[in-house]
Amino acid sequence: MKIEILLNNDCNNLRYIKHIEHLNERGADIRLVSFAGIMHHKFCVIDKHLCMFGSFNWTQNANIRNIEDLNICDEVSFVNNYLLEFKALWNLSKTDIQLLLHPSYCSICKNPIINILFMEVEGNYQTKIDIVQQCGCQQKIVYTDYYDASVYNEYVGSIHQFEDDIWAAKESGDETTYYQLIAQQDFVVANYLSLVRNNRMGMPIIHAVGVKEWKWFNKHDGEFIYKVIWKERGTNSYVQDEYEIM
Ligand SMILES: [Zn+2]
């Protein structure tokens, strides 16, 4: 049996550090991570086929004092989404969260320095990945690598597979389905990106993923821009939706 737990690194959880260390010494993998106020999850996945979620905070207060709800679900796609979310957070859980929440700042323009992964197909067989480091005054490629063509195709496919359904849900005004699909899409993309990131050493932390796209200003005139199609958790406030190609 393998037990993996992600806990917010705060005074509530640090009170139990002795128990945590005790369990870790016996094979559990319990991590205290500084999510700096953005962690609001409280879910549990058991044996990849059962999910428990709700307002329940897994504390003694939740157990004996508070008014709470705790739901149990074994619907496959539902459980899978939580599993993907856990994997994404697990992969982010070491130093990445700190880097995401506290990017370096440019000494000249004072803007945060953002790393964006750009993917494009090169020839018939390759995916070219550039990581562009960008602030308000500079833009440079800090990392370039080549992958199999399937990397681009699967990634773009994983984004597009939800688009029709998302559009349909939006048109019909079905907000619940709409937000569920958006969340599902994000889970899949985040998980896929984790795979790409973890497979290669030396790649800097990625705040966002973008594609090069033609943007029309008017009927006759336009230019290529970088369009951000996905942002890592916690980075929303400082990653723009579009970047100029300088
Ligand atoms: Zn700058």
* Alpha carbon of 113 to ligand 1 centroid (Å): 7
Domain count, the chain: 2
Which residue is associated with the tokens 């962690």?
39
Query: Do 33 and 60 meet the contact criterion of CB atoms below 8 Å apart?
Result: no
Whole-number pLDDT of residue 107 = 94
* Same domain as 138, residue 121: yes
Question: Which residues face 165 on adjacent strands?
Answer: none
Whole-number pLDDT of residue 44 = 95
Domain span at residue 56?
A: 4-98
- The distance from CA 228 to its chain's CA centroid, rounded to whole angstroms, is 14
* Same domain as 62, residue 137: no
* Same domain as 223, residue 173: yes
* Same domain as 109, residue 77: no
* Alpha carbon of 221 to ligand 1 centroid (Å): 28
* Alpha carbon of 109 to ligand 1 centroid (Å): 4
Whole-number pLDDT of residue 197 = 57
* Alpha carbon of 106 to ligand 1 centroid (Å): 5
* Alpha carbon of 92 to ligand 1 centroid (Å): 26
* Alpha carbon of 244 to ligand 1 centroid (Å): 14
* Same domain as 125, residue 52: no
Last residue of a domain, one of 98, 120, 138: 98
CATH of the domain at 77: 3.30.870.10
Query: Do 116 and 135 meet the contact criterion of CB atoms below 8 Å apart?
Result: no
Query: Do 228 and 116 meet the contact criterion of CB atoms below 8 Å apart?
Result: yes
* Alpha carbon of 46 to ligand 1 centroid (Å): 46
* Alpha carbon of 231 to ligand 1 centroid (Å): 20
Q: Distances in Å between the alpha carbon of 110 and those of 22, 104, 132, 232, 242? A: 44, 9, 18, 21, 19
* Alpha carbon of 204 to ligand 1 centroid (Å): 18
* Same domain as 184, residue 80: no
Last residue of a domain, one of 45, 77, 98: 98
Residues whose beta carbons lie less than 5 angstroms from ion ligand 1: 106, 108-109, 135-137
Strand order in the sheet with 208-216: 139-148, 126-134, 114-122, 208-216, 222-231, 242-244
* Same domain as 175, residue 118: yes
DSSP codes joined into one string, 75-125: -HHHHHHHHHHHHHHHHHTTTHHHHHHS--B-TTT-PBPEEEEEEEEETTT
Residue spans of the chain under pLDDT 70: 36-38, 94-97, 190-203, 246
Whole-number pLDDT of residue 203 = 65
Tens digits of residue pLDDT in 116-164:
888 888 888 888 888 899 988 989 998 888 888 887 787 777 777 788 8
Sequence-ordered list of residues with C-beta below 8 angstroms from that of 78, at least 6 positions apart, any chain: 51
Rg of the chain over all Cα atoms, to the nearest angstrom: 21
* Alpha carbon of 103 to ligand 1 centroid (Å): 13
Which phi and psi angles does 188 have, rounded to 5°? -65, -45
- The distance from CA 246 to its chain's CA centroid, rounded to whole angstroms, is 27
* Same domain as 80, residue 129: no
* Alpha carbon of 25 to ligand 1 centroid (Å): 46
Whole-number pLDDT of residue 236 = 83
* Alpha carbon of 105 to ligand 1 centroid (Å): 8
- 33's enclosing H/E stretch is strand 29-33
* Same domain as 142, residue 49: no
Last residue of a domain, one of 45, 75, 98: 98
* Same domain as 177, residue 65: no
* Same domain as 218, residue 146: yes
Whole-number pLDDT of residue 13 = 87
* Alpha carbon of 139 to ligand 1 centroid (Å): 8
Sequence-ordered list of residues with C-beta below 8 angstroms from that of 245, at least 6 positions apart, any chain: 139, 212, 223, 224, 225, 226
